[in-house]
A and B are shown apart, each in its own frame.
Chain A
């Protein structure tokens, strides 16, 4: 029981240490992908506009 308690309490504190960076990376990949897709869409729209 002591072992389980120690495990639970430490996980609460330790989790951000290895959970945080993983969440950061996922968020960053999503942000980069979204902004690049938007930029590509804008470029396409400009290209189509200039053709017209």
Chain B
């Protein structure tokens, strides 16, 4: 067993010293934040107003909205870059020794704490009833913006993911996958609260309509109007970039779940964000949001690849989907949000998925084969319709006076879309290793401890029409190697890049064919910390095709009671569901409060006062009647 052992970090929970350090640091930071807030409320410091001043001017909203919006946006970008970096580090270097064992965790922690802090600042900076129109009354002297509460909850939940992750590791072992249950808490708390940032802006605009001591009213005019549109557009692009992080395993070429997840995630993400972008910002909004995503995701790629020196992630441009949404808007007015979103969903799920198929052959690690496309369209269409429902909810919440309601209650389609998408993923989730299949690996030795490999599968039907046959060499403490194998003849494949077969490298051949996913190991080192024995690199060897999870998540503890796994996963999923419900509640509450007011007081994420005036009283009355139905 020790023959192939390499130095490996511990595989359970974090060392006690790190946990105590994190606890002390977390408490001190929180205490500092609370003291600042309390001093501000008592009128003993002007620091927050000074910090907020440039953002108040730029965003034309009161300080209690401007500063938290700026802080939350910056924090999200920081956390997003950290997420990508962290995934790349795990792919290239393997597990970490604890929450502070890798520098990539620091931007994530700081970013998530920044979101929490932004929520707190929104609460304490809103004095008296400044946020009274849309806010939540905490006491007779204090009404807080709804979105601030949601923001703080999102940050709190996301931060909670770190210690929960540590507990998870100590019970079940480290799960080196982006889609680990506790990882999803952090991702969801961070990236899914972008609409909440826009909700806070909307609350700020609504409050700025009346005189406030801390803010300026929205100024009519072209500049303000374009500024508002730019913010809404970047919000939609931000949603697109944020949701794209969920696809990172596909972008890095190391998916640990069914390949059908990829078209499902692409279609859901694209329809949700682009319907919102087009509906709220007008003509060109979907294309603009896609362009914004290219800039943001491109920035993440540049940071992770060339700058940090890790494996470069790939991402979708969403341009085919954006064109679909723009076309849908030409056929059905986005004001009829339900019909527009549904048509956009149908187009994105079909034509958009075809576009993504083409894109996988241009710049994605796993190109979809032709026989995969009908399944991708079927799943993509269902996911796109779910995304359309959520997108319609987000759009009608952030432009409450302008867009028609979807049904009697705004939140119903949003909830239905989210539940429907979860059901699609649940249907796609189950996969299994082939029964009784094996692969014969023949190595051609090359210099530097590397080798080319020819793999013959038995029976040949295991790879008769594979979704992919991939060579993966990862966790070698340098950039990973991911390539598709070249088919020699039925059932026989050859590597296109030499496989490294020494040190901490893990080299394997991965296949998927429908729900059958299995790997043939070529070389894996022993790992005493888990503990597992090494798998040596034999010149000719026949090995069973085994479960992908067994090789990709070697750190996972075997023999943990099934009920414990089910209970823990259910608890974590319930936390995520609560988080989504809180985000939806916040959006729905703000929109409901605004549409309950007379039309002259309405605010809209993408319309300043000037545009609203240009719409004229007649259209405002029509909108009011529609909203009041």
Chain A residues close to B by CB (< 8 Å): 3-4, 6-7, 9-11, 13-18, 20-22, 24-25, 28-29, 31-33, 35-37, 39-40
Q: Is the CB of B41 within 8 A of A14?
A: no
Q: Is the CB of B23 within 8 A of A13?
A: yes
List residues of chain A with CB within 8 A of the CB of B120.
25
B365 at the interface (CB under 8 A from A): no
Q: Of A7, A15, A31, A36, which contacts B170 at CB under 8 A?
A: A7
B561 at the interface (CB under 8 A from A): yes
Query: Which of A25, A33, A39 gathers most chain B CB within 10 Å?
Result: A25
List residues of chain A with CB within 8 A of the CB of B166.
10, 14
CB distance from A21 to the nearest CB of B (A): 4
Q: Is the CB of B141 within 8 A of A33?
A: yes
List residues of chain B with CB within 8 A of the CB of A17.
19, 22-23, 26, 162-163
List residues of chain B with CB within 8 A of the CB of A39.
141
> In chain A, what residue has the closest Cβ to B12?
A6
Interface of A is mostly: helix
Give the complex CA separation of A6 and B560 in angstroms: 12
Supplied contacts A7-B167, A13-B23, A21-B27, 8 more A-B pairs, CB within 8 Å:
A3-B172, A17-B22, A17-B23, A28-B34, A32-B142, A33-B142, A36-B142, A40-B140
List residues of chain A with CB within 8 A of the CB of B152.
25
List residues of chain B with CB within 8 A of the CB of A4.
564
B3 at the interface (CB under 8 A from A): no
Count how many chain B residues have C-beta atoms less than 8 Å from C-beta atoms of the other chain.
41
CB distance from A1 to the nearest CB of B (A): 9
Q: List 13 A-B contacts (CB under 8 A).
A: A10-B170, A13-B19, A16-B27, A18-B159, A20-B26, A21-B30, A21-B116, A24-B31, A31-B38, A33-B141, A36-B41, A36-B142, A37-B141
With contacts A17-B162, A35-B42 taken as known, whether A11 is within 8 angstroms of B167 at the C-beta atoms is yes
Give the complex CA separation of A39 and B142 in angstroms: 13
Question: Could you mark each residue 221-259 of chain B with 1 if its beta carbon is under 8 Å from any beta carbon of chain A, else 0?
Answer: 000000000000000000000000000000000000000
Q: Is the CB of A6 within 8 A of B171?
A: yes
List residues of chain B with CB within 8 A of the CB of A7.
167, 170-171
Enumerate B514-534 residues with CB–CB distance to A below 8 Å: none
Q: Is the CB of A28 within 8 A of B23?
A: no
Q: Is the CB of A21 within 8 A of B159?
A: yes
Q: Is the CB of A24 within 8 A of B167?
A: no
Give the complex CA separation of A25 and B120 in angstroms: 8
List residues of chain A with CB within 8 A of the CB of B170.
6-7, 9-10
Q: Of A3, A24, A36, which contacts B171 at CB under 8 A?
A: A3
B199 at the interface (CB under 8 A from A): no
Q: Is the CB of B139 within 8 A of A33?
A: yes
List residues of chain B with CB within 8 A of the CB of A24.
27, 30-31, 34
Q: Is the CB of B141 within 8 A of A36?
A: yes
> In chain B, what residue has the closest Cβ to A9?
B170
List residues of chain A with CB within 8 A of the CB of B171.
3, 6-7
List residues of chain A with CB within 8 A of the CB of B164.
14, 18
List residues of chain B with CB within 8 A of the CB of A20.
23, 26-27, 30
A-B residue pairs, 4 tightest by C-beta: A14-B163, A33-B139, A21-B30, A6-B170
Question: Could you mark each residue 521-565 of chain B with 1 if its beta carbon is under 8 Å from any beta carbon of chain A, else 0?
Answer: 000000000000000000000000000000000000100110010
Give the complex CA separation of A39 and B138 in angstroms: 16
Q: Is the CB of B31 within 8 A of A18?
A: no
With contacts A13-B20, A20-B30, A21-B30 taken as known, whether A37 is within 8 angstroms of B42 at the C-beta atoms is no
CB distance from A48 to the nearest CB of B (A): 17
Enumerate B130-171 residues with CB–CB distance to A below 8 Å: 138-142, 152, 156, 159-160, 162-164, 166-167, 170-171
Q: Is the CB of B167 within 8 A of A28?
A: no
CB distance from B146 to the nearest CB of A (A): 15
Q: Of A9, A25, A33, A36, which contacts B34 at CB under 8 A?
A: A25
Give the complex CA separation of A26 and B142 in angstroms: 14
Q: Is the CB of A14 within 8 A of B26?
A: no
Q: Is the CB of B23 within 8 A of A29?
A: no
CB distance from B530 to the nearest CB of A (A): 14
B124 at the interface (CB under 8 A from A): yes
With contacts A21-B116, A25-B120, A32-B38 taken as known, whether A37 is within 8 angstroms of B167 at the C-beta atoms is no
Give the complex CA separation of A18 and B254 in angstroms: 32
List residues of chain A with CB within 8 A of the CB of B16.
13
Give the complex CA separation of A46 and B20 in angstroms: 49
> In chain A, what residue has the closest Cβ to B40?
A32
Q: Of B26, B41, B123, which contacts A21 at CB under 8 A?
A: B26
CB distance from A22 to the nearest CB of B (A): 7
B584 at the interface (CB under 8 A from A): no
Q: Is the CB of A3 within 8 A of B564?
A: yes
Give the complex CA separation of A29 and B138 in angstroms: 8
B277 at the interface (CB under 8 A from A): no
List residues of chain B with CB within 8 A of the CB of A40.
140-141
With contacts A6-B171, A31-B38, A33-B139 taken as known, whether A22 is within 8 angstroms of B156 at the C-beta atoms is yes
Q: Is the CB of A18 within 8 A of B163?
A: yes
> In chain A, what residue has the closest Cβ to B13?
A10
CB distance from B80 to the nearest CB of A (A): 22
> In chain A, what residue has the closest Cβ to B141?
A36
List residues of chain A with CB within 8 A of the CB of B557.
3
CB distance from A33 to the nearest CB of B (A): 4
